[in-house]
Structure 1
């Protein structure tokens, strides 16, 4: 997956905007981050539930893993995008969006 493809997937969700976030790009709904993208390393992070984080990390533990420290314990999960199937990234984006977006927006996206 390329950075451009990732951006297109993230921006397809209703009311998502792209904004700088330190040295990364963030994707937000109602000013809350649903994902970040580090274009240099081609890594993205998503806000997942503890259960979803566990499932994704079990699937590809070398490419999907919790962020370090408290961020990881809060569900932030890093995905190394290069060799992951688009469907996995789309599922993670959808779950992250549903975890962060207001209920009226989140309910429009099912997995």
Structure 2
């Protein structure tokens, strides 16, 4: 189905996104990191809210899996790319990207 090239293309198309090395992964970020791609290209970690994580994992457990540690309790979720479609990737990245975009200052 999908692969690391599809993931990278979609992530980099999101406004303001840059990529950078992150340990043995590639991070995608705006103000904050919203996704990382594994070095083997088989999976990615996506930053959801805990509620979004629960929804995604219930909706498509073959694609999404909560990380079993403190990062996972914060919403970090593994996405298995071979089981996902481009639409699955786009929806997940758009959701995570929205949380990483700097908020606009309030006018007084």
Contact 2:62 2:83 in 1 (8 A): no
Other-structure match for 1:73: 73
Other-structure match for 1:109: none
* TM-score, length-scaled by structure 2: 0.88
Contact 2:44 2:80 in 1 (8 A): yes
Other-structure match for 1:33: 33
| Equivalence map 1:73-92=2 (5 Å) | 73-92=73-92
SS in 2 for 1:103: coil
Other-structure match for 1:95: 95
| Number of positions where the alignment pairs a residue of Structure 1 with one of Structure 2 | 103
SS in 1 for 2:6: helix
Deviating beyond 6 angstroms after TM superposition, the runs of 4 or more aligned structure 1 residues are none
Q: Which runs of 5+ in 2 are unaligned?
A: none
Provide closer, same or farther for how the CA distance between residues 3 and 41 of structure 1 changes in structure 2, counting only shifts above 3 A: closer
* TM-score, length-scaled by structure 1: 0.86
* Larger Rg computed on CA atoms: 2
Distance (whole Å) between structure 2 residues aligned to residue 83 and residue 65 of structure 1:
12
Please report how far the alpha carbon of residue 41 of structure 1 lies from its aligned counterpart in structure 2 after TM superposition: 4.9
